[in-house]
Amino acid sequence: MKRTRPALRIAFLGGLVALAFAALIARLWDVQITRGREYASKVSTSSQVTVRLPAVRGEILDRNGVKLVENRASFEVEFYLPDMVRAYRESRGSVPMTSYRGRVHNMPRDLREADIARIVSETVIPRMEELGVARDYNTTALQMHYRNNREVPYNYRQDLGFEEMALFSEKNLGLPGVNVTVKPVRWYVYGAFAPHLLGYVGSPRDLDKLPDLSKFDFYEPDVEGKAQLELALDSELKGKPGARILQRNAKGVIEGEIGRREPVQGNNVYLTLDARIQYLAEQALRHVGRGAAIVMDPRNGDLLAMASVPSYDPNVFIPSVPARTWAEINKDETNPLVNRAISAYAPGSTYKIPIALAGLKAGLQDKCFSCYGGVQYGNKYMRCWIAEKRRTHGKLSLEDAIKVSCNAYFYQFGNAAGIDQIVAMGRLLGLGQKTGLPLSGESPGVLPGPEWLSFANPRARWSNGLTANTAIGQGDVLASPLQMAVVTAAVANGGTVYQPRLIEKIVGQDGRVVSQPPPVVRARLTAGGGVTAEQIEAVRKGMWEVVNEGGGTASRARNDTLTTAGKTGTAQFWRSGIKDNHTWFISFAPYENPEYVVVTFVQGAKSGGGVSAPIAAEILKGIQHLKDGSEPVQLAALPPAQGNFLFTESIDFDRATVAANKLSDDGETAEVPSSPAQENRVAAKPNVREEADDAGKVKNKPSPSTVTAPVVAQQRSNPIQNIFQFIGGKRNKPAPPQSASDRPPAR
């Protein structure tokens, strides 16, 4: 009996061990076999990172389908800062900290956070220096990004060159938080081509307020329109975002991409613009330092061209502009960011056309007035420009007065019509108010009258002298080239006032027309406007004489093929005590059946007839060659037009000469200087990239002579799908560079 007890005990213990092993085996079976997939998926999920892919913007095209704005692929290096902090803590046990003054519940506090600048300089930059792909950066901007937008990857490098792509492709850095990605970025195909109209894009300012921020580990925000059409049509152009799922190993290193949902491209916008005519206007206008040109179809209000100089290249702002470059643009006193086509200036004698319509509405069609060199109003003798030549115009009809631009005639004509009629006609024509064009920075101008004066200067009283000055487009009158194009179009087409139109249609990626806004009629001068077709024809005839008869002020705008009618204008203006006249030419052609309205405006010139009219004539000459096919326009990328303050006396395109710096008076100027212009700069600034600080200077970086051009790919249907695979576990060698004919112009 004593011998059996140890045996029983051993058997009992053995049974317990066997049961324990059986339980362990059963548990292992359950975990690894029965529920293996469940646990594997949990492990996989914990090592996955979701990254939001920004939406792809739609393209902007001209009326003929010429692409003006599209997207290209930019290969970039991004830092996922929280991953870097976590990996640093796991490898070294603790994280270096830095202090800053912040606010908690709106109360100032001393706060601490990870010193991300030190972490990057110790763990990331040395490895990049070894490969020669490091670049200087701003450590302060890096720290601020971590503090305020840590969910958004920090963009360290943009537009990697081909050799750099090869290095990143062949040498896996193996650094936690470092990832090379590809993004669709905006590309303005022809550089400084209609930038004041197209605008530019940038990243959103308030990243912490983005609606779907919490759905992703890292958030790649959509770019948004910042100015002009990019801003006005942002809701149509922006698409839908996608997503990437990245695999991260136990060390925090991104190993590759295991899933992707492609972003959806936004709608395409077709403009009424004709890229060829826009190019002609841009080239002709670049003979002066500051000015604007507009080409409009008087039959429907379609804008065919809108140019302004000086100009800028919006590609410089994409994806961000260096702080130094942005400072230089803002210091430029010629204001390249101002769209002079929609800014308001004293229109000078071109304003005699709406005055003529107001007088005709008042029944003055048969009224003649005499010019004896000037007219007395109160204690002020207001002279005609011809008095400077010791001559007079004598007795004139309306048509003759338009032809010779007699100030004395219009002093009297305007007062005979009355300021109320002038204001009423101005409102019908859209003067003193914005046109409704979807562009930022448009000036309404000034349509002066007793009611306006009571607000501008309550103590002042309207007088006949003010009416006289208004009648020649000086004093308080301000109008934009766009507004004067609308006026000219109404005269050209026989009395229909169109709202200018810039959007032809909006088309989805499937080819479906989303919207197509029709032409909008603002008013009809012959139906409720109080003017007859015969009266409008009298104004048209006077404008024809301006160009085509001896004694007219715009003989240099004559065109034997496209018969042109027009009106010159020159308003006195001084800038810092220096003569800086505002000169104009409004015109339409061909005279019998007008198809084009051309308005040109130049700051700092002698006269409308000597400077603005030849520019308009050159544009119409180019259009004529387009129509007959003799000189097709070859579009090419344009550099920014440089501004200047030279005083231009005359332009001769046939002789290719521009006479400048010869100050002399013009035959159309009046004695009273004009009111200051209404020039509005682009309100929203682009994304500005801070210059590198001393702490962000790197050692081993290639010299500028060895830096290769960025890998740039033109994108057609989908900018993500059309590029070679680099991320997502498919680290293939980069594709060969494009040929020169396929590569977009250098930026």
Angle at 641 between CA 184 and CA 433, to 5 degrees: 85
**What letter represents residue 393's amino acid?**
H
* Residue with the larger pLDDT of the pair 49 and 483: 483
Q: Which helix (H) or strand (E) holds 166?
A: helix 162-170
CA distance 278 to 306: 7
Q: Give the C-alpha separation, 671 to 383, whole Å.
A: 7
Contacts of 217 (CB under 8 A, 6+ apart): 49, 50, 51, 151
Parallel/antiparallel/unpaired status of strands 688-689 and 321-322: parallel
Cα 4 from chain centre: 99
Residues 408 and 372 sit within 8 Å (Cβ to Cβ): yes
- Quick one: how far is CA 164 from the chain centroid? 31
Reference 482, options 679, 294, 274; nearest CA is 294
Q: Is pLDDT of 444 > 60?
A: yes
In the predicted structure, residue 559 carries a pLDDT above the cut 80: yes
pLDDT of residue 529: 84
What is residue 332's three-state secondary structure?
coil
In the prediction, which pLDDT does 470 show? Answer: 95
Confidence tier at 183 by pLDDT (50, 70, 90): confident
CA distances from 365 to 40, 361, 396, 417 (A): 92, 8, 12, 11
pLDDT, greater one: 161 or 208: 161
Side-chain half-sphere CA neighbours of 292 within 13 A: 29
- Span 17-23, mean pLDDT? 78
Q: For the ranges 176-180, 504-508, 545-549, 707-711, which has the lowest average pLDDT?
A: 707-711
What tokens does 228 get?
Answer: 């002009």
The reported pTM is 0.84
Q: 349 with 569: CB under 8 angstroms?
A: yes
Pairing of strands 60-61, 268-271: parallel
Rounded CA separation 310/335 (Å): 7
Give residue 233's pLDDT.
96
Question: Residue 16 — pLDDT band, cuts 50, 70, 90?
Answer: confident
Longest Cα–Cα distance in the chain: 153
Is residue 331 pLDDT above 80, yes or no?
yes
Is 364's pLDDT higher than 70? yes
**CA neighbor of 97 nearest in space, from 113, 121, 118, 117:** 113
What gap in Å lies between CA 471 and CA 413, rounded to an integer?
8
- CA separation for the pair 249, 252 (Å, rounded): 5
Q: Which two tokens stand for residue 420?
A: 């109320």
Percent of the chain with pLDDT over 90: 57
- Higher per-residue confidence, 132 vs 278: 278
What's the confidence (pLDDT) of residue 171? 64
Q: Which of 317-321, 498-502, 720-724, 743-747 has the highest mean pLDDT?
A: 498-502
Q: Which of 107-111, 143-147, 516-520 has the lowest mean pLDDT?
A: 107-111
Query: Is 10's pLDDT higher than 90?
Result: no
What the block records as the tokens of 37 is 């997939």
* 657: pLDDT strictly greater than 80: no
Residues 6+ apart with CB under 8 A from 601: 291, 292, 293, 340, 341, 345, 481, 582, 583, 584, 612
Looking at every residue in the chain, the average pLDDT score rounds to: 86
Question: Average pLDDT, stretch 662-672?
Answer: 50
Strand partners of residue 648: 605, 660
Residue 148 pLDDT exceeds 90: no
pLDDT at 291 over 50: yes
Q: In which band, very low, low, confident or very high, does the pLDDT at 660 lie, cut at 50, 70 and 90?
A: low
pLDDT band at 661 (very low <50, low <70, confident <90, very high): very low
* Range of weakest confidence among 11-20, 193-202, 338-347, 582-591: 11-20
* 46 vs 49: CA distance, rounded Å: 8
What is the per-residue pLDDT for 313?
96
Instruction: Report the C-alpha gap between 54 and 78 in whole angstroms.
Output: 14
Q: Which fold has domain 49-271+698-714?
A: Penicillin-binding protein 2a (Domain 2) (3.90.1310)
Tokens of 96: 């270096």
- What SS3 state is found at 291? strand
Q: What is the pLDDT of residue 731?
A: 35
**What's the mean pLDDT in 163-175?**
72
Q: Which pLDDT band, with edges at 50, 70 and 90, does 339 fall under?
A: very high
190-202: average pLDDT: 96
133 with 707: CB under 8 angstroms? no
Residue 746: pLDDT over 80:
no
Tell me the three-class secondary structure of 577-626, residue by residue. CEECCEEEEEEEECCCCCCEEEEEEEECECCHHHHHHHHHHHHHHHHHHH
Model confidence at 22, in pLDDT bands (50, 70, 90)? confident
pLDDT beyond 70 at 39: no
CB count within 10 Å of CB 727 equals 18
Judged by average pLDDT, the poorest of 23-32, 430-439, 449-458 is 23-32
Q: Is the pLDDT of residue 599 over 90?
A: yes
Q: Which pLDDT belongs to residue 91?
A: 87
Task: Report the pLDDT value the prediction gives residue 359, as an integer from 0 to 100.
Answer: 96
Tell me whether residue 64 is exposed, middle or buried, using C-beta atoms within 10 angstroms of its C-beta: 0 to 12, 13 to 18, 19 or more: exposed
Asked if pLDDT for residue 720 goes beyond 60, the answer is no
The answer on pLDDT for 221 being more than 70 is yes
Please compute the mean of the pLDDT values over residues 178-185 and round it to a whole number: 84
Residue 146: pLDDT above 70? yes
Residue 265 phi/psi, 5-degree rounding, is -75, 145
Domain range annotation of the chain: 49-271+698-714, 275-660
Q: Say how far apart CA 401 and CA 393 lie, in whole Å.
A: 9
Please list, in sequence order, all residues whose beta carbon lies within 8 angstroms of the beta carbon of residue 400, skipping any fewer than 6 positions away.
393, 406, 542, 545
pLDDT at site 547: 96
Regarding predicted confidence, which is higher, 140 or 251? 140
User: What's residue 143's pLDDT?
Assistant: 93
**Digit-coded pLDDT (tens) for 611-643:** 999 999 999 999 999 999 989 999 999 999 999
Which amino acid, one-letter code, is at 382?
M
What pLDDT, on a 0 to 100 scale, did the predictor assign at position 719?
44
Neighbours of 708 (CB within 10 A): 14
Q: Which two tokens stand for residue 450?
A: 């007793």
Q: How far is CA 181 from CA 70, 77, 78, 155, in A?
A: 20, 6, 7, 10
pLDDT at 610: 94
Name which CATH class applies to 275-660: alpha beta
